[in-house]
Amino acid sequence: MDRKILLENIDIPGIQSFETFRSCGGYLAVEKALKTMAPDEITEEVKKSGLKGRGGAGFPAGMKWSFIDKKVDKPRYLICNADESEPGTFKDRYLMEKIPHLLIEGMICACYALGANTGYIYVRGEYKYIIGILNKAVREAYEAGFLGENILGTKFKLDIVVHSGAGAYICGEETALIESLEGKRGNPRIKPPFPALVGLYGSPTVVNNVETLANIGYIVNNGGEKYTQIGLGRSTGTKLISACGNINKPGVYEIELGVSVRDFIYSDQYCGGIKNNKELKAVIAGGSSVPILPKDLILKTASGEDRLMTYESLSDGGFVSGTMLGSGGFIVYDEDACIVRNTWNLTRFYHHESCGQCSPCREGTGWMENVLHRLENGEGRSKDIDLLVSIAAKIEGKTICPLGDASAWPVASAIRHFRHEFEFHVQHPEIVKNVNHGSLAKYVG
């Protein structure tokens, strides 16, 4: 399975420019949408395609569009969430850097479907050079008549604005993003109301991820039915995977959903196996916020079948023996990886990035970081392991936004599957303090 939707033309010289993109069939979807399709037809094709949001949650994109309130006498907005801050995830950056017009084409079609005359691309603050690339592509689209007034003579008008965030992970949550875009502190909103009813400036708003919107041109050109013929079951289409960690070939890969996890890790077509011929130890399959799985569970489902790179297969067994596809941030650990150290590192990140609005997250992330710091530095107590499990349980499901869950799941799953490593850190502080953590595995066993 090697079909490409997003990266098919990525290696064509000059594809970043409007002229080259156009010569490869770019913006044909805009012409088809504006000249031959009604807005609701586009939404129906997206619903028919089964396209799930590619930002992490996996909510059906067409269904999300259908929620937008078209009866209220207010402007509607489309926001592209390009605030890609999930550790282990860098596939949106790759798309925006290499083929920015694919995103703009998708946004034009989406705005037409939603009846939106203004679209925003909210870019992660650290992606400074990406902002220049996007602004250039937007200017080219204006100059070619695909943005602005009376696009292609259809009386449809659309403005797209590129907006830089300030480097806050929390602004990847759609309501925090909206608050930031309005010039406020990026705190998530209590829901309901949802953005489709009360979003940007109190108006109906849809927020979609970069990769999600980049798929829209293909769906408009080929129809939702053809999109369903790619992928497996309810996991339709392709997925961009950011692969990193202890592998031979880190990078961004476009997979047809349904590839086995084993093939993705070991095939020369993708990750090329574990670096230095070491053994696989564990994988975080969907970005740092999803549960980690040890080798036996990431390669096989709870029922003993090969685990596949699909939304359903990766979640098989729930959080007891499954995980999530999430944002597609695929992090591979080899046999020498110290799970305690890596979990502590993730917890430091979530403590730093918590907006502090909810006390379970504000206090709990810091508490987990402190306890893991003790364990990692050979000062752990026997009760610390169960204490971490208890703290994680008191955070999960008790915050306004999913950042609390994102901080709790890695800790809970790491202890669930690698408790013996945490116990080793408590029982052998002299080794933990004096041995390089890349060599701890041979002591832990």
pLDDT tens track, the chain, 445 positions:
568 999 999 999 999 999 999 999 999 999 999 999 999 999 999 999 999 999 888 899 999 999 998 889 999 999 999 999 999 999 999 999 999 999 999 999 999 999 999 999 999 999 999 999 999 999 999 999 999 999 999 999 999 999 999 989 999 999 999 999 999 999 999 999 999 999 999 999 999 999 999 999 999 999 999 999 999 999 999 999 999 999 999 999 999 999 999 999 999 999 999 999 999 999 999 999 999 999 999 999 888 899 999 999 999 988 889 999 999 999 999 999 999 999 999 999 999 999 999 999 999 999 999 999 999 999 999 999 999 999 999 999 999 999 999 999 999 999 999 999 999 999 998 888 877 766 666 677 6
300 found inside a domain = yes
Final residue in a domain of this structure, among 206, 228, 250: 228
First to last CA, the chain: 38
Q: Are residues 307 and 425 in the same domain?
A: no
What would the two tokens of residue 173 be?
Answer: 């949550």
72 found inside a domain = yes
44 found inside a domain = yes
Which of 407, 399, 401 minimizes the C-alpha distance to 194?
401
Looking up residue 159, the CATH number of its domain turns out to be: 3.40.50.11540
Final residue in a domain of this structure, among 194, 228, 262: 228
Provide the number of structural domains found in the chain.
3
Its pTM stands at 0.95
Final residue in a domain of this structure, among 186, 209, 228: 228
Q: Give the residue numbers spanning the domain of 315.
A: 232-334
What would the two tokens of residue 337 be?
Answer: 């990886």
Q: Are residues 353 and 222 in the same domain?
A: no
Q: Are residues 223 and 293 in the same domain?
A: no
Whether the Cβ atoms of residue 235 and residue 257 lie closer than 8 Å to each other: yes
Q: Are residues 224 and 261 in the same domain?
A: no
What would the two tokens of residue 408 be?
Answer: 């709790």
Strands 235-236 and 280-284 come out as unpaired
DSSP 44-83: HHHHHHTPBPTTTT--BHHHHHHTS--SSSS--EEEEEE-
Whether the Cβ atoms of residue 362 and residue 382 lie closer than 8 Å to each other: no
Helix ranges (H only) for 338-438 are 339-353, 359-376, 384-395, 403-427, 429-434
What is the DSSP-derived secondary structure letter of residue 278?
A: P
- Contacts (Cβ under 8 Å, ≥6 apart) of 268: 249
Location of structure tokens 């098989």? 316
Looking up residue 400, the CATH number of its domain turns out to be: 1.20.1440.230
Looking up residue 267, the CATH number of its domain turns out to be: 3.10.20.600
Q: Are residues 84 and 193 in the same domain?
A: yes
CA distances from 207 to 40, 78, 424 (A): 18, 6, 45
